[in-house]
Structure 1
Amino acid sequence: MLDERDRKILEILQADAGTSVTELADRVALSVSACSRRIQRLEESGHIVRRIVVLDREKMGVPTTVYAMIKTAHHADEWIEAFRKAIGDIPEIVEAHRLTGNYDYILKIVLPRVEHYDVIYKQLVRKVELFDVSASISMEELKGGASVPVGYVQ
């Protein structure tokens, strides 16, 4: 069971995984060693899966976001594995989700410019058969990031 200090540690690390243990300990009113033990426990329990660096997409040359909604006529395990491999081989596809509703999958694709979407589309359809693909261009990111709320954890 996690307490408020654990939740605060998780919140701070989500905002900046590079926060030093010394600063973190100070912000949650713990000794450095106690804070370090808590972080280790949170990693061992799986609450902290990994620590990553978030890159500036503009500076990395991929400021454009396209969401591709996919329908497929195939739902066999073999097709799903081929699809999983195909999207895994395309670094511009940064997220993929299986959905309920009118579409089977949604892909988040980051690109240098919108015209590059056709390159990614062709790479994907060469690897797996798709029934329908509909793409939407993100005009503006209103909220982004990978943070999850910490208030629900028990």
Structure 2
Amino acid sequence: MQIHSLGLEDLSEDEYTLIGIHTALEDFKLAYLLNKNLSTSFQKAIEDLIIEDLQIKACFSIFNCSIKKYDFDWFLIANSSKRENKTASNELLLTSETKTYLIQEKKKVDFFIKIAGDLEYNILSKTVDKIKKIDQVITCYLIDKNTLKSKDFLIF
């Protein structure tokens, strides 16, 4: 009898492509412009991506879109989460802001587009070119997920 065993890496490794976007736009405005320019239908997800650690709790906005033509799911994910900290000191209320990043090594990336599935390179290249043509987008490029140390946060 032949036995085949799977390691943990076989179960958790999803096939996906990652696009990084640099922009000053808010998440809903970027989703709108992507829908307009890519003919997608990004919609706000019911729940945000919540990362809870012993020291931090961060909430990252997610928009999702299903492309039935190609049978792929697309996700627009914010790379940063801001949290306001309030402290009382000598009858004064002081506030400070803590910014947490989903992918620490890509702090300059404002949003990621995660495309679940194995998409052809020419379609990805055309998608990146269309995103770059949006006036409010500074730049956009493909990211090699194998170079990321914290890519586990993108598996959901």
Higher helix share: 1
Higher strand share: 2
The verdict on a shared fold, with TM-score over 0.5 as the criterion, is: no
- Shorter-chain TM-score range: 0.3 to 0.5
TM-score w.r.t. the length of structure 2 is: 0.37
